[in-house]
Amino acid sequence: DTGVSQDPRHKITKRGQNVTFRCDPISEHNRLYWYRQTLGQGPEFLTYFQNEAQLEKSRLLSDRFSAERPKGSFSTLEIQRTEQGDSAMYLCASSLTSGDPQYFGPGTRLTVL
Amino acid sequence: EDKVVQSPLSLVVHEGDTVTLNCSYEVTNFRSLLWYKQEKKAPTFLFMLTSSGIEKKSGRLSSILDKKELFSILNITATQTGDSAIYLCAPYNYGQNFVFGPGTRLSVLP
């Protein structure tokens, strides 16, 4: 399977804990995106990378969120001091280049208790 | 601020019906618009539209873009229960990113 993969698929944590998610994009794709989706809403943009460079972060992304793509391949999204409002599906997508269709991974569902 | 409106937000039909889903947008530096289908998991890509008036077609699904009136429609003919999903549209703001609408939840009853 050469699609986008994400790990873990589900994460349950207690409020205040740190969590880290991983995304492996399609191998030749230069762009990697992180989105957050809550029930009844479309995906909400968080940040994206062009190779290893983080080019944009949403204004909605608080200082507790950080993302990396150290070698321009896989990416991690870390949430520090989780809050109940962080409970959502976190989606990763990749595309060949700017403006190309994005292909999504299966998502990581985070539940903060 | 970029804005995407999809209508209806929810739709229930019976197998065999034809449906039309609407997406209107206000996006600066518009370049293209994508349609996605989302079932229980992540969105899957359906169409990418860049030019007005040129219909994209895949089986029973088709879509068209009107860049002057700033909208797109997605048609599904002879619906099947497997078409039940959330359909998302996402215009692309050139130089920035895709902006996803809230989606239309389609339920196709047997």
Across the interface, of A42, A44, A104, the residue whose CB is closest to B103 is A42
Contact status, residue A27 vs residue A2, Cβ threshold 8 Å: yes
Contacts of A35 in chain B (CB under 8 A): 100
Quote the DSSP letter at residue A10. E
The predicted pLDDT at position B7 comes to: 96
Contacts of B101 in chain A (CB under 8 A): 42
Question: Residue A40: pLDDT above 90?
Answer: no
Q: Three-class SS of residue B36? A: strand
Contacts of B32 in chain A (CB under 8 A): 99
Q: What is the pLDDT along chain B (110 residues), one digit of tens a residue?
A: 788 999 999 999 999 999 999 999 998 888 899 999 999 888 999 999 998 888 999 999 999 999 899 999 999 999 999 999 999 999 987 766 788 999 999 999 99
Quote the DSSP letter at residue A38. -
Question: Residue A60: pLDDT above 80?
Answer: no
A36, two tokens = 């957050």
Dihedral sign for Cα atoms in the order A48, A10, B101, B2: negative
Would you tell me how many other CB atoms lie within 10 Å of the CB of residue A92? 29
C-beta atoms of A56 and B102 within 8 A: no
Q: What is the pLDDT averaged over residues A60-68?
A: 90
- Asked, as a colleague might, if the bond just before B102 is cis with ω within 30 of 0, I would say no
To the nearest whole percent, how much of chain A has pLDDT over 90?
78
